[in-house]
A and B are shown apart, each in its own frame.
Chain A
Amino acid sequence: MEWEVVIGLETHTQLQTNTKIFSGASTAFGAEPNTQACEVSIALPGVLPVLNKEAVNCAIKFGLAINAEIAPRSVFARKNYFYPDLPKGYQISQYELPVVGKGVVTIQVPAVGKNETYEKVINITRAHLEEDAGKSVHDLKSDGAVASMSGIDLNRAGTPLLEIVTEPDMRSAAEAVAYAKKLHELVQWIGICDGNMQEGSFRCDVNVSVRKKGSDKLGTRREIKNLNSFKFMTQAIEYETRWQIETLEDGGTIQQATVLFNPDTGETRAMRSKEEANDYRYFPDPDLLPLEITEADKVRVKAQMPELPEAMKARFEAQFGLTGYDAAALTASRELADYFVATVGAGAEAKPAANWLMGAISAKLNAEEKPLADSPVGAVQLAGLLNRITDNTISNNAAKQVFEAMWNGEGEVDAIIEAKGLKQVSDTGAIEAILDEVLAANAAMVEEFKAGKEKAFNALVGQAMKASKGKANPAQVNELLKKKLGA
């Protein structure tokens, strides 16, 4: 029996605002418990929510970025449930009329067992604004009666979230992770979310179901909650998929459930089910009026947005003659794209800049587990190095040595070239002198070449390079040698 997995994602992105979605309390991470929990955050009676303009701007930016319909009129609703970190007894969210409607995200998925990717379009169902809940703390510092209780920190309560929901369009863990990574980059690219997964700024719920291949009916899904790393997402989906297939093949059925992933065991496990869990009794929140977004609002927000990755990719191909693969790789993150643009802006040629960035620099950063922002070699330094290759001061081989030295903080390009004596010999007279010596010392090889042995030519080039201690400009050596041999 061949099975197919069907995956949809719901992602909670914390919006990069100074204040909460419905009050002027700070959203800064890591403050002492409840010091950023104002009367609205802790839900004292009689308080009223007032919507944050910046949260709305973030939603508009996202809508524009995924080419979605942005609702001219959307409505906030109360989602009712009981939990101690939600002191109002309801979460203010959006239900029937979300701010962002249908849109698309195009992803590049690594093909299994091949060093290439395929493109897929993931449909976004909707994105809506809502407030985050507080946090429960179970290991309290005090003992006695207090130790048997849970502590509640409401600093996070009211932090603005944009919940982004996809259609069940993904068919493998690789596709789900490719989408999540793409979305993660996109929200950072347009500056609406800091993307910090450890701090919970970007959290994914993954809906997984399986069905017989060829069937167009969806199976019963289970929702894996709160995945905060791409590695865990892969593990959780793969485990869950296997578990569902095995359950069905053993004649069992899948019950709709919410499950948690345990990173220690690599397994998913159903949360204690609450039979009324999905009975949220949504209704429009009478404390909030409908949110209106005009064409003028969209134009104003659009003017604040950076060039989007897709547009930049197309521009890189057209303007710099890069391949689609290179252009996609360079626009995989804003930092990488900015670095590339700065390198080219500092006078480097585009193709070598792309190669060095995705080659030597990426390799170093990977090995040292550093982000690009911490690269010891900045865009201007890289451009300086590449310019010394272009103007024939150093060879490609020497450039690698110079790069190593720059990475290790040994100084600027020219100083390193000087100190290490890597300057290429491009003086025709000097090279001719070397060639004359080489030809005189290797008369046999010269004879072989004249007798038609092409290989002897390369051997002579090798001898000349050796005689110059690798510093002779190889292109010039080739050219001058040809001339001397009358070839």
Chain B
Amino acid sequence: MALSTEDIKKIAHLARIEVSDSDAASTLTKLTGILGLIEQMQAVDTAGIVPMSHSQDVVQRLRDDVVTKTNQREEFQKIAPVLGNGSTELAVDHGLYLVPKVIE
């Protein structure tokens, strides 16, 4: 599978990672190498082998439905990011975490 720098830019955007044009070229080479490796692996006959969804062959343990967490909002909001734009105030207001405006 051949990737383009366009693909690299798109993947980077989806992951919210900034990739410069020069980095995009080297990232393209690396990713293409990884995909080449996967192509090699795809040549292996896997008929009859159950796909693995976890590296350990054990099953999920379940938790009883009992409230164990108490309100720690104050502690958590002490380590909230700062507002930025010159302000060193924490990005919280009336108990809410603040983020740049998002309206669909």
Contacts and interface: CB of A to CB of B under 8 A. Distances in A.
Interface in B69-104: 69, 71-73, 76-77, 83, 85, 87, 91, 93-104
Interface residues of B, number: 41
A34 B99 contact: no
B18 to A, nearest CB: 14
B58 interface: yes
Interface stretch (A5-13, A249-257, A281-289): A281-289
B14 A291 contact: no
A80 B99 CA distance: 19
A37 B65 contact: no
B2 interface: no
Interface in B4-53: 10, 13-14, 16, 53
B83 A145 contact: yes
Contacts of A286: 54-55
A290 B102 contact: no
Nearest to B101: A150
Assign chain A's interface to a size class. Answer: 35 or more
A148 B68 contact: no
Contacts of A137: 96
Contact of B101 (A80, A142, A149): A149
Contacts of A288: 54, 60
B8 to A, nearest CB: 14
A462 interface: no
A196 B61 CA distance: 31
A52 B63 contact: yes
Contacts of A18: 65-67
A271 B62 contact: no
A33 B73 CA distance: 9
A35 B77 CA distance: 11
B1 interface: no
Q: Majority SS of interface residues in chain B?
A: loop
Interface stretch (A19-27, A364-372, A374-382): A19-27
Most buried by A among B16, B65, B83, B98: B65
A289 B62 contact: no
A32 B91 CA distance: 17
A116 interface: no
Contacts of A25: 67, 69
B65 A19 contact: yes
Interface stretch (A151-159, A211-219, A424-432, A463-471): A151-159
B77 A34 contact: yes
B67 A33 contact: no
A318 interface: no
Nearest to B83: A145
A411 to B, nearest CB: 44
A289 B104 contact: no
A291 B64 CA distance: 15
Interface of B: 10, 13-14, 16, 53-56, 58-69, 71-73, 76-77, 83, 85, 87, 91, 93-104
13 contacts: A19-B69, A24-B69, A33-B94, A51-B62, A55-B65, A84-B102, A141-B94, A145-B83, A149-B100, A271-B104, A276-B13, A279-B14, A291-B59
- Ordered nearest first, which 8 A-B pairs have the shortest CB separation? A151-B96, A24-B68, A54-B65, A33-B95, A53-B62, A38-B69, A292-B59, A284-B53
Given A52-B63, A138-B103, 7 more contacts: A33-B94, A33-B96, A53-B63, A150-B98, A151-B94, A286-B55, A291-B60
